[in-house]
Chain A
């Protein structure tokens, strides 16, 4: 009888332990799932029209010389960018090219999650495509400044503050995804040199098998407003 009690008590104890383990297990998995970062939004299909590139034709008939239309802004270094539609607000770094000739990117440290203006491109508001880049995600800090760039749609506003006190406002016109090994250099950094435009660049298409992004997402925007100066 006494022995039975002990056996029964032990049996009940085991049941309680198993239930406690089950509850803790469920709690831990729920925690793991809720703290799981979502994958960045992806661009499923091209959005908007890109008319930025004059087709280079080597024939003399294609040569044209005509007056440019408006008096554009002069150069002034951009200091910050905000994109209300995706909650982006960032100080702007100024970066050049890396030793391998590619566009330098923000490095691990306090500047990793800031957006950066490419210093050989026009300052935003000057004629031609101003180029601003930002990480989509990094090993060090997970989601980065341009995590939700693919959510932008034509008409969304991008605002850049310049050192001269002026604010230039761009409207998104198109989104495109390009394979990095077939990146359209001339379209993104050149193209139409007479209109003030903006390109926002981040990474896309993460390939888990190689642990790398194989694509770039490029957002095309055009100048719609200039305030102050």
Chain B
């Protein structure tokens, strides 16, 4: 008895820990569907849309964009893309360009959209650590991306709190100022600034809940009850009058 209790104790403690851990308790707090358009930043010409459906910590991501630069040093242009988290949940305004080089670079945009929470890579690592790994970034001028991945707690928190922002990086150096086109990235010094700067941005929000209240009244009932009432009343009175008339006429005739 005493022995089996001692053996069970660690098991009980472990299961208690599972029950009490925040992951287990809140694993469904981000459940639902999210959407955003991907609109151009920094004069890029691209456009796109993303939708994310979350169940527990599993996220099915559908993302499509096109119109970004196609090649970079004779190879498909790597466009790293992420869910940024933990800030204002917004895309940066042009005024976020602190150094005045004409573009809002990734660091300048951070007060609006925050740090990298999840990397939307085409395969393998989806953590923030893979954020600048151009080997697993989508390449070329457009992408149609569908992937189911596991989201970490911080990304789930940001989605649920409305502060998740999708950012797709990689500008065409030809469209930038000479200063910006020649600058090195402040994130990855061996890459040009253009390659790591945001080109498309979209603040994620939950899709509207339930049905749509596009009808506060209906025309399927009877609208003119008053008119029907008065008209019907008059007809009834006329009927009574006519019946009375005939009775009196009959009485007279007999």
Contact = CB atoms under 8 A, between A and B. Distances in A.
B partners with A: yes
Interface of A: 11, 14-15, 17-22, 24-29, 31-32, 35-40, 54, 56-60, 62-75, 97, 100-103, 105, 108, 118, 120-123, 126-128, 133-140, 142-144, 146-147, 178-181, 183, 185-186, 189-191, 193-194, 201-204, 206, 208, 211-213, 215-216
Contacts, number: 280
B221 A208 contact: yes
Contacts of A58: 58, 60, 148
Nearest to A202: B214
Contact of A138 (B123, B217, B231, B237): B217
Given A18-B241, A22-B234, A185-B33, A40 B208 contact: no
Contacts of A185: 33, 207-210
B220 A65 contact: no
B33 A39 contact: no
Interface string B31-55: 0010111011000011111110100
B185 interface: no
A202 B212 CA distance: 7
Contacts of B35: 120-121, 128, 189-190
What 5 pairs between A and B have smallest CB-CB spacing? A180-B211, A18-B241, A28-B231, A203-B215, A128-B49
A28 B210 contact: no
Given A15-B245, A24-B234, A193-B64, A29 B142 contact: no
A139 B39 CA distance: 39
Contacts of A71: 45, 66-67, 142
Nearest to A207: B218
Nearest to A56: B60
Contact of A68 (B39, B143, B227, B236): B143
Nearest to A34: B224
B223 A35 contact: yes
A209 B60 CA distance: 41
Nearest to A136: B215
A193 B50 contact: yes
Given A18-B245, A123-B37, A194-B144, A39 B209 contact: no
Given A18-B242, A36-B223, A58-B58, A127 B64 contact: yes
A68 B65 contact: yes
A97 B235 CA distance: 52
Given A54-B62, A75-B39, A127-B65, A102 B211 contact: yes
A180 B210 contact: yes
Interface string B213-254: 111111111111001101111111111111011001100000
Contacts of A108: 216
Contacts of B224: 31-32, 35-36
Contacts of B36: 120
Contacts of B112: none
A101 B206 contact: yes
A24 B232 CA distance: 10
B122 interface: yes
Contacts of A142: 217, 219, 223
A67 B63 CA distance: 11
B140 A67 contact: yes
Given A14-B244, A26-B231, A208 B220 contact: yes
A17 B235 CA distance: 11
21 contacts: A14-B244, A18-B239, A21-B235, A21-B238, A22-B234, A22-B235, A24-B234, A26-B235, A31-B224, A35-B224, A54-B146, A65-B146, A71-B45, A75-B40, A105-B213, A120-B35, A127-B49, A185-B33, A185-B208, A186-B207, A203-B215
